[in-house]
Structures are given as C-alpha cells and as structure tokens.
Homo-oligomer: A and B are copies of this chain.
Amino acid sequence: MLKILDENGNVNPVLEPELRGDELIQMYKFMVFSRVADEKAFSLQREGRMGTYAQLKGQEAAQVGSSYALREMDWIFPSYRDLGAMIVRGLPLEYIYLYWMGNEEGSRIPEDVNVFPLSVPVGSQIPIGVGFSNAIKLDEGNAVTVVYFGDGATSEGDFHEGMNWAGVFKTPTVFFCENNQWAISVPRNKQTASKTISQKASAYGFKGIQVDGNDLLAVYSATKEAVEKAQKGEGPTLVEAYTYRMSDHTTADDSGRYRNESEIKKWVEQDPIKRFKLYLELKGLLDNSLDDKIRKETGQMVDNAVKKAEACPAPKPEDIFKYTYAEMPDHLQEQLDELEDSIG
C-alpha cells in the first residue's frame, strides 16, 4: 500500500510529490470545504431542508487528492458520495445541494465544468465513463477520465464490463475505487474474496495500485501517475484508495446496527484532514490563525451555497416534461395540459 504521510504528518521525503505551498494549502482548503459542506448537508437533512444525503466524511483525502491531480481538460464521473471530487473540479456547491434537495437544476452542470452528474445506480457510471474516455481516444483528444466508485460497486457487472472494455481498448481511464470498507451494512471482506481491490486489475490486463486513502499525498501521487500514463496512451489504471466511511451510509441509515463504535474510533484517529494538517504545520505552511481563517471563510462559502440552493425556484409543471426529448411530442403537451388543469 502506497503511503507517503504517516499518521503524525511525517512525510517520506523520497516519495513526496512536488507541490508548491499554495497548492498544498489549496488542497487543504478543499478538504476542509468538503468536510464542512458535508456536515452542513447533514444538518440540512435533519432540519428537513434536504432529502436523503450520502456523507463523505473520512474520504476527503481520497476525493480531493485524486481530483486535484487532474488537469483542467480531464473529466470525472462521480458516484453519489463524491461531493469533494466534484467541488475540486469546479462544480459550485449549490448544485450538489440542489440535487439532494430534489431539484434537477442541480445536475445542470455548467458548460465549462467537466463533471458528469453523479450516479446513483451503483457502478453504472463506470462503463459510461469508460465509453466517454474511449471517445476521447477515438477523437485523438488528450483528456483523461476518472470514474469514481466504491468497494461495493466492484461486485456489479458494470465494473467488470467497464474494466474489461478499458483493458481491451486501452482507454485513457483512471478507475478510482474508494474502498471505504463498507457497502451500506456489508463489510469489504463479504463483498469479494479478493485480497485487495487493486489486484482485480490484473484480470483485465492492466495495473492496479492500492494507496492509503487517508493520505492526501499518496492519493495525489498515484492518481497523477495514472493520469500521466493514460494521457501517454498507455491505458487505464485501477487505483484503490483504502479509506473509511466515518458516517452512516446515508442520512437514512443507522450504522450502529452493523458496526462497532470501536472500529469507527480507530479510523477517526486516522482522520485524513488531521493528518494533512500536521504535515502542513510541520512544513510551516499552516498555523492556527490561518486555519481559523480558512474555516471561517469556508463556513461562509458553505452558507452562501445553502442560500443559493434554497433560493432556486421549485420546478414548474412544464419542467418535468420539457427535457424528456429535444422536442416535446404531442402526447407530452397533452399530459402537461392535463396536469396544469388539475392544479388550476
């Protein structure tokens, strides 16, 4: 397992990636932002201001480290839990909030943001992302596609077929598995008898690598290497980020039913933000006052996103019809009329 930072923030100098101080701070900010935005979403849900929501707590390094390693032109295909990755790629937080508040406007991704709408059917974004990267290759583009998915998703046929396709056609794809040890209530060792997730890549003729998913630098380095390899035409890589889902599966779940407090505690000690903070402090890039400032600014940004999301008008009847096809067929117009009639 690739590890660059230890639990106390000490870096392995041989493996330390070349990143400027402002970049490191930026990554830290993204992690903090993800955490705060995540916690906010949780309270919004509890207050009845948001629907079911899937928290990412504990997976900030995995998401931020991987997405930060991408270039402007690259694309991501996230799962439902990947708020952190989407944010880093430039999707304004209010979009993600809007989606979970039950408004499709949240998936009207801005034209210049290379993010696919998050996918709910587990693993289904994998072949779509692979096909997209295959199109890039056919079109002789330079971009690389990262597909995000969980450990549970590796059981689905979609994972297998996407991996197989990528291997055969050597697509510029990075398969990024956030192995957070749980798929709702099913632990990783009951999901597959494979020793690691990363070794599954060999069944498809390419490399897999397991990294400490709570180590921002390890995640960043492994992803960057995979992206570079893909971009050079050397095909796909599977990156397994070994991490942990610190929260319940979603706001509708109660993980106390199936896992121990002690396990969670152990992992809380491995908190990826804490570890990176220690590293930044050791490097002299961060102190308490800067941290306070970052957290304060983050809080404001998140509040701002809540405001924007809540200010977005609710869908009108016509909105549920008019994007079904490029042109609205007669029968939908008829159904819209009928609906409007009933609303009066």
A contact set with B: CB distance below 8 Å: 155-161, 164, 167-168, 170, 190-195, 199-200, 202-206
Contact = CB atoms under 8 A, between A and B. Distances in A.
B202 A194 contact: yes
A128 to B, nearest CB: 15
Contacts of A200: 203
Contacts of A203: 192, 194, 199-200, 202-203
Contacts of A164: 155, 192-193
Contact of A168 (B170, B190, B202): B190
A161 B158 CA distance: 10
A157 to B, nearest CB: 2
A202 B204 CA distance: 11
Contacts of A194: 167, 202-205
A187 to B, nearest CB: 11
A164 B160 CA distance: 11
Contacts of A161: 155-157, 160
Contact of A199 (B167, B191, B195, B202): B202
A168 B191 contact: yes
A313 to B, nearest CB: 41
A160 B161 CA distance: 9
- 7 closest residue pairs by CB, A with B: A157-B157, A193-B205, A160-B160, A167-B193, A200-B203, A203-B203, A194-B205
A149 to B, nearest CB: 14
A155 B191 CA distance: 20
Nearest to A169: B193
Given A157-B158, A157-B160, A195 B191 contact: no
Contact of A192 (B158, B191, B199, B204): B204
A173 to B, nearest CB: 13
A99 to B, nearest CB: 28
A68 to B, nearest CB: 29
Given A199-B202, A199-B203, A203-B199, A167 B155 contact: no
Contacts of A205: 192-195
Contact of A202 (B156, B159, B202): B202
14 contacts: A155-B161, A156-B157, A157-B161, A160-B161, A167-B192, A170-B193, A192-B203, A192-B205, A193-B204, A194-B202, A194-B203, A200-B203, A202-B202, A202-B203
A201 B14 CA distance: 35
A126 to B, nearest CB: 11
**Which of A159, A168, A199, A206 has the most CB atoms of chain B within a 10 A radius of its CB?**
A168
